Structure 1
Amino acid sequence: MYAYAQTRPNTPAAQAEPRDRNALERLRDWVMERGGTERAFAKEYWDHHETGIYVEARTGEALFASTSKYDSGSGWPSFTRPLNPDAITLHEDDTMGMRRIEVRSREGNHHLGHVFDDGPRDSGGQRFCINSCAMRFILRDRMEAEGYGRHLPIVDGEATSVASR
């Protein structure tokens, strides 16, 4: 398996893109429906550090907790594990001239990103590299009100995973 170095934009303006709703939906369609990949170091959650959970952008299915997010240096949001392993499915992906493992949401069957075996060894060794546009972030203080209260023990560091319902 090969990894290619990415470069960070030099200016904050280069990191921020206009929040054009139609552009976001076009990107989301390309990524989630056609298996595309957004540009590194450019989207909303690659350098996001608030406490809460990340849910699938279309279905709202809970995917990852901020407690498993880390800076992989890749330019995409990276996580050591899913919030609930039953919320995702893994599939072999031989596109782009390499063998990768695709991550899809179980409920929506949408492309989210890929998982690699180059994550932190002390956290299991996996790096779930996920496209920002495939997710929506729920702030910890809004989780109960938005129906994600059962995930609070993970976000608060009291548990490491949630069993499926």
Structure 2
Amino acid sequence: MQQMDEGSEAFREIYFAGGCFWGVEELMRSVQGVVDAVSGYANGRSGPAPSYEEVCSGRTGFSETVKVVYNPARVSLPALVFLFFRAIDPTDSGGQGNDRGTQYRSGIYYSDEESAVVVRRATDVERRRHSAFYVEILPLLNFYPAEEFHQRYLEKHEGGYCHIPRELFSYAGSMRVDPQQYPRPSDAEISRRLSSQEFSVTQEGATDLPHSHPLTTEVRRGLYVDAVTGEPLFSSRDKYQSSCGWPAFSEPVDRNTMVFSEDRSHGMRRTEVRSRTGDSHLGHVFGGDEESPSGVRFCINGSSLRFVPYERMEEEGYGELMDLV
């Protein structure tokens, strides 16, 4: 994690409430570009700083919240917001994980209007994924740091309680793709830009016929990006010829660009894969694939992808990812 030294006047702040603050703090500390994360209590009744016991009573109106100070030259606010949404269940109105009560409610609190606009835009994309949504998006009213015992808790207590999957910490620390560069266009623009088949697949969850899309047999070196936003998703390095009949990849270029959810359609139980910033339906991911080098198959619709040949990557703004292909 960076230290707060020269240039600190350019640092920005955002506040995340998502259940127990121990895990949220550690998650944000994992991100390159986050310079500080402080566990505390936010948006409760005005007055003296509350104690942990008072907040846990549920009578103060405060939520366990993490103040995140970040360097926008190294990590964008959309990257932090989308990461936060991966760590919580936005459909849970009663808390997160084993933590129940109003003090464990989910929220994003901003301290300036510029941040508010960015947070709302990313939240609009996340909201599309859920039939119910219980995350407060509000201005920051107040914030008090929690007691020293709670700061860096998981760093000091290895194996301590955390409702966030530990693998998410490593994903956060290896983030390569900045979502700020790939905003979702308006619905009208998407409709205008895509073919009828691309629209049907990405926006309505349809599936290409097997062996029907040219990208299934594409073997050139290059990058596969979201057809809607251009967000980088897969590399030719991780593509393999699968008998499934769709483009198949053993890994994404950055796990943070993937959103996973349970799909019980057609009498099956599968894991759907959608893109982070575009919320495009991409396909499904399966384990135990003997053809895959990693044993994992990302089975992706070609209509969800656009292929950028290696020799055109720098010209199209993907030069920083050329080492991945």
Q: Which category of TM-score, normalised to the shorter sequence, fits these structures? A: 0.7 to 0.9
1:63 to 220, 224, 233: 233
User: Which residue of the partner structure matches residue 198 of structure 2?
Assistant: 28
CA–CA distance in 1 between the matches of 2:286 and 2:300? 11
User: What is the deviation of 1:123?
Assistant: 3.4
CA–CA distance in 2 between the matches of 1:45 and 1:122? 17
CA–CA distance in 2 between the matches of 1:150 and 1:120? 32
Do residues 80 (structure 1) and 270 (structure 2) align? no
User: What is the deviation of 1:28?
Assistant: 1.0
CA–CA distance in 2 between the matches of 1:31 and 1:47? 19
Give runs of aligned pairs for residues 89-108 of structure 1, distance below 5 A: 89-108=259-278
Compared CA separation, residues 48 and 121, structure 1 to 2 (3 A)? closer
Q: TM-score, normalised by structure 1?
A: 0.77
SS across alignment from 1:150: helix
Do residues 131 (structure 1) and 301 (structure 2) align? yes
User: RCO (CA 8 Å, sep 6+): is it higher in 1 or 2?
Assistant: 1
CA contact (8 A) 2:238 2:250 kept: yes
User: Which residue of the partner structure matches residue 323 of structure 2?
Assistant: 153
The residue type paired with residue 85 of structure 1 is R
Do residues 116 (structure 1) and 286 (structure 2) align? yes
User: What is the deviation of 1:53?
Assistant: 0.4
**% identical equivalent positions:** 42
User: Which residue of the partner structure matches residue 49 of structure 2?
Assistant: none
The residue type paired with residue 84 of structure 1 is D
SS across alignment from 1:123: coil
Structure 1 moving runs of 4+ over 6 Å: none
CA–CA distance in 2 between the matches of 1:55 and 1:44? 15
Aligned residue pairs: how many? Answer: 133
CA–CA distance in 2 between the matches of 1:81 and 1:98? 23
Compared CA separation, residues 121 and 49, structure 1 to 2 (3 A)? closer
CA contact (8 A) 2:250 2:292 kept: no
CA contact (8 A) 1:68 1:81 kept: yes
User: Which residue of the partner structure matches residue 312 of structure 2?
Assistant: 142
CA–CA distance in 2 between the matches of 1:122 and 1:101? 17
CA contact (8 A) 2:223 2:232 kept: yes
User: Which residue of the partner structure matches residue 144 of structure 2?
Assistant: none
User: Which residue of the partner structure matches residue 114 of structure 2?
Assistant: none
The residue type paired with residue 95 of structure 1 is S
User: What is the deviation of 1:132?
Assistant: 0.4
CA contact (8 A) 2:224 2:305 kept: yes
Task: Tell me the alpha carbon deviations over residues 83-141 of structure 1, each in whole angstroms, 9 at most, x when there is no partner.
Answer: 11111111100001110000000000110000011334873311000000100000000
1:48 to 215, 218, 224: 218
Aligned-residue Cα RMSD (Å) equals: 1.6
The residue type paired with residue 237 of structure 2 is T
Task: Tell me the alpha carbon deviations over residues 44-102 of structure 1, each in whole angstroms, 9 at most, x when there is no partner.
Answer: 20111000000000100000000000011111000000011111111100001110000
Extract unaligned runs of 5+ from structure 1.
Answer: 1-21, 156-165
SS across alignment from 1:107: coil
CA contact (8 A) 1:80 1:119 kept: no
The residue type paired with residue 46 of structure 1 is T
- The structure in which a higher percent of residues are helix is 2
CA contact (8 A) 1:120 1:127 kept: no
The residue type paired with residue 50 of structure 1 is R
Please say which of residues 101-110 and 113-122 is displaced more in the overlay. Answer: 113-122
CA–CA distance in 2 between the matches of 1:68 and 1:141? 18
